[in-house]
Structure 1
């Protein structure tokens, strides 16, 4: 029975620090990788994801979809056998949260506009 392919992946954070590397099966989903990133997020960082919906993983310049597997996302060129794949992590707070946190000035704005037609 053939051995299942495993891939070493480390996650590069916004400040240049890394999580990992960890070994994953080629059948692992991107959703599973995001769960691992959120659970292993380093303490003391200024940006902290609240859940996997706030995390985006980027590999080879492409944002990875949750339902894809690691094997489907892996690019065949530029990788060294036995090497570690680096995925970049972007934390994007949910849009609903950001809208409620912003201070909105509801005072009517004065319209100052003049037109002269000759």
Structure 2
């Protein structure tokens, strides 16, 4: 694999700790990155993703799509030599998301009434 084809990435977790930096091929997909993140996730964390859909990667302010390659997602300033690209990792377990949605729907509706005395 040519040296130019490799991209150095590190992943910033919710508590400020990092996974990496690790070199990846520019043709690696975001889904492949998520699988690697899950396999290397520190086990001492309170929140641990179980599947790739529990993880969202954010780079340069954009949520990356699973089918995109690193080359398609690289921000233009990443061409600077000697630096690793930092991607932020957001964990949203799917089970928590559905529980939250149900709680909002299950809340009793409050009737409000207002009076004005002239």
Superposition CA RMSD, Å = 2.8
Bigger Rg, structure 1 or 2: 1
Structure 1: distance between partners of 2:109 and 2:72: 52
Partners of 1:77 and 1:112 in 2: how far apart? 53
Q: TM-score, normalised by structure 2?
A: 0.80
Q: Could you tell me how far apart the structure 1 residues matched to 2:63 and 2:100 are?
A: 22
CA distance 1:111–1:99, change in 2 (3 Å): closer
String of CA shifts for 1:73-116, please: whole Å, max 9, x gaps: 0012254213201000000121225456x5x977x778574768
For 1:80 and 1:66, the matched residues in 2 are separated by 25
Superposition map of 1:70-81 within 5 A: 70-77=70-77, 79-81=79-81
Change (3 A) 1:109 1:10: closer
Q: 2:112, 2:68 → 1: CA distance? A: 53
Match in the other structure for 2:45? 45
Could you tell me the TM-score, scaled by structure 1's length? Answer: 0.80
Cα separation, 1, equivalents of 2:110 and 2:88: 45
Q: Equivalent residues in 2 for 1:99-114 (5 A)?
A: 99=101, 113=113
* 1:7 alignment counterpart: 7
Unpaired runs of at least 5, structure 2:
none
CA 61–111 in structure 1, closer or farther in 2 if over 3 Å, else same: closer
User: When you count helix as a share of all residues, which structure comes out higher?
Assistant: 2
**Partner secondary structure for residue 22 of structure 2:** strand
